[in-house]
Structure 1
């Protein structure tokens, strides 16, 4: 078989195989879930903001309350969904004053009512005279459910001129109580109230037991999105996630964690470097090698530093007089010249050496050479006696 015939045959076989494989292939669609976007992970209320924006609302996301006080209250709704344990009494009063001028405040109750202290610790709840309680299972069991309700645990909001209520899945473990009897609208589940609405001056306050119904994974369930639309309709919306600025350390940890880690590591290495010893340890000198001469020299150095030259010279002169009294009992009663003559006779030293040794000690400090010379004269005279 010729070479080009073999190539033609191989091409025909390969084409047949491709046609057979192509006839067996079936197209299909597959959706790959990559999970929430980074923006959705950072903002649990991103879906709520996008929903309100799609309704034509002016939606702002702020981290503090500072921006809301500069707006016109009559056209604003404030969704205060952040933790409020750091809010001060003055901030709460400013917020309620803003609401009283026509604003609409929507917030989440955070603390349970404490019967013993007659307060909850939630400043907004206490000022508005609202109380939150935890509902036990026995309280839920006491409330009968109608057969028409497919899920008796859902919260129902009844509106005027509406045949069916709106349904929301609030957390049924918590119950809001209007201790001041000021609420004009509410939403209940069997055994608990989860939303209260009351007038405050010219404005409106809406308190909720929880806001998880508006988070990204829950806003599409039941009538959660409708409730958000209903509470914020015809107004601009400001969503506040935090009520306090982060301090410097928090900002550094958030934006420069690697730099802070490198700085801490550098400080630790520097402390370790400067704390280590350089060179071997010096062992203390053995006590057995110290001799009497070393002790005498050490004692003399101590007396020289602390008592001074005059003390040492006076002690030597007193030692000479003591030796002279042993040789001549009336030595102290003799005049100074007679004492010098007697010592010259007893020691057989020149008169100038004796006089040099016994001369009065000066108050001024002697030089090292003069002090050594004076000590030498005194020792020579004492040894001669």
Structure 2
């Protein structure tokens, strides 16, 4: 590309922001140039392989790609990148042109938006006029340089690549581009071909991708109201990224993040994407439930019940997640007799309810609460065998009976 003094350079970047004024190039910004070089070299390798050579890539192919900063032009900071002449020049040039063209098309798309999260690779390749060579995309999108490109920038800074042949046309990268574009796109490629290396060494059992309505609970730790996206830490699947479309959920999610309660549990129901039985993305939220967790003796057990996934019971074909309504009723009952011994045992029911038991040497005292908070209290004296039971919706009456029985 031609710079202001009329010279031709292999490539040039433009870094904009206060840190880069008057052609200043901070050392901690050099990582972006290194990432760019790594992607350039991978793209050049793909240009070599595209010609169908049977022999392996020559060892000097990488060493000859000796990219260096030959100068920094004014106009923010514009690093000028050059390399010595090599017998592989045409592959380096073609790799650069292909990379810049592909990044230019990708960077204009927000793959993290709700309407994009369910996109398939074939649709995107057709829409953006990208190469449909999955092997090449798998090699590039699995690079840390691709996944992290631009992340060292600050919120008020941009990195620009001047489009080939267009003196005033720039591809713009910000600190958010990796999270909104490159990483979601890499997930789409991974979904199409499997993890890096899968094309060369396909698994005996293919990766099974499924999308269906389900429920998951966890701890919300991040959200982006503009993108209508969030991140949740789950017990069984690790950190999972999610999207929602209903504007009213923004206030609900913000309330969870700002809550001063001890790590509130959020339960999300909606359409989810799964790989080999593992949840890796929440595509759409249909409903959201919140369970505040207080500092109480039974809080650890309550959290375990809240985190149970659908069909958790090994002996039943279907078992429901535990109702937060049932959990709240159980906690209120336990609080009413928390000053009396013994400490209760708390157990989940396959229908989504909860059973609370107070074991003593004199009686068996069991409270069953179904998913809609209907209550059944069973009280039997172990010495006499006399038993009473009570069906009710009145929690106040249950609390009174519990205190009388445990005194």
> What range describes the TM-score normalised by the shorter chain of this pair?
under 0.3
- Higher helix proportion: 1
- The normalised TM-score by structure 2 is 0.16
- The normalised TM-score by structure 1 is 0.17
Name the larger-Rg structure.
1
- Higher strand proportion: 2
